[in-house]
Amino acid sequence: MKSLRKQLPSLTALTVFEAASRLSSFTRAAEELGVTQAAVSRQIHLLEKDFGFALFMRLHRKVALTDKGKALSAATSDAFNLIAEAVTDLRKDAPGDELTISATVAFSHFWLMPRISEFSRQYPYINLRILSQDNMPNLQLGEADVAIRFGNGMWPDAHAELLFEDEVFPVCSPKYIGVDGRIKTPADLTSYSLISNETDDPTWTGWNEWLSSFSIVVPKKTLGLRCSFYTEAIYAALNGQGIALGWTHLVEDLLQQGRLVRLTDAAIKPRGAYFVVVPTRQRSKETANLFVNWLQIVLQEPGPQTL
């Protein structure tokens, strides 16, 4: 079998032909390629001489492809596009490439940021961009390369892989509750200020759902500070303003550090879970795959991580 090099005509001539056939003009092809019109005409002439037939019909002030020219045009267009796509994908994975990670504000703040430096130490050539946003980015439009989200695992045009399920339980500052251990059961919580946060996510667990799981009705007078975001609720608890609901993976470091304490052994599992999400209509970046693998390994490590 002959080598491709011997089977193919001049690649320079093919490049010129692709531009001339796509633009239907030798002049415009010359402008795009940064050469003279005469140079374009010469390359086309050499190509036609090599094939032994005409590729263009020279008309008054314009050119048109012959039938054989149209066949070659379709082939070169497909081949050049395929090469361009491959080059684009390879450049995405080149050292120094940017990896955009989207995570909810709470997950980014309490879990991801304290740990992401370890990923950077392992892969120093990857430039990271962290998007902290509760709204799901459009992965198909490239708004992020990978996302970490809480929900039911069903997002359009995206593949979601389960990271972990969670538990929800009451937490507060050690100074707020004191050391007398007055809270023994979930019912005891209603005597204290309960910090809540607003959310549009139906799978998110709030105080009403949590207490209802233990057949407890929440008296309106016990409701305390209401925050816009979960991060604000946790900081309010850290500052001794009441009791908030702690999610295991979000408050584990704060519990380990002694900045928050868990109240009662009572806990419930929320309806949703945390997922890592990647686009489905395009090939994932190799850097995104590295991040997903790293994420899964870290989450499998026992005990709270304080990297």
Condensed to tens digits (0 to 9), the pLDDT of residues 185-241 reads 899 898 889 999 888 777 888 998 999 999 998 776 666 888 989 999 999 999 999
pLDDT at 155: 86
pLDDT at 94 > cutoff 70? no
Range among 47-51, 155-159, 249-253 rated most confident: 249-253
Tokens 């590295």 belong to: 290
Q: How far apart are CA 172 and CA 47, in angstroms?
A: 79
The alpha carbon torsion through 113, 130, 262, 177 (nearest 10 deg) reads: 90
pLDDT tens digits for range 106-121: 999 999 999 999 999 9
pLDDT at 307: 32
Q: How far apart are CA 99 and CA 299, in angstroms?
A: 20
Name the least confident of 2-6, 147-151, 159-163: 2-6
SS3 content of the chain, % helix, strand, coil (to 5): 45, 20, 35
Q: How far apart are CA 218 and CA 113, in angstroms?
A: 35
Q: Whose CA is closest to 130, among 150, 110, 116, 151?
A: 116
pTM more than 0.85 = no
- In this prediction, residues 147-163 reach a mean pLDDT of 89
pLDDT at 67: 93
Identify the residue with better confidence: 211 or 98. Answer: 211
pLDDT tens digits for range 234-274: 999 999 999 999 999 999 999 999 999 999 899 999 988 99
- In this prediction, residues 97-101 reach a mean pLDDT of 88
* Residue percentage of the chain with pLDDT more than 70: 89
- In this prediction, residues 71-92 reach a mean pLDDT of 80
Range among 31-40, 170-179, 210-219, 240-249 rated most confident: 240-249
Instruction: Give the chain's domains with CATH numbers.
Output: 4-92 (1.10.10.10), 98-165+272-300 (3.40.190.10), 168-262 (3.40.190.10)
Q: Whose CA is closest to 16, among 4, 8, 5, 35?
A: 35
Q: How far is CA 306 from CA 109, 111, 178, in A?
A: 13, 9, 26
pLDDT bin (cut points 50, 70, 90) of residue 136 is confident
- In this prediction, residues 5-30 reach a mean pLDDT of 86
pLDDT at 105: 92
pLDDT bin (cut points 50, 70, 90) of residue 306 is very low
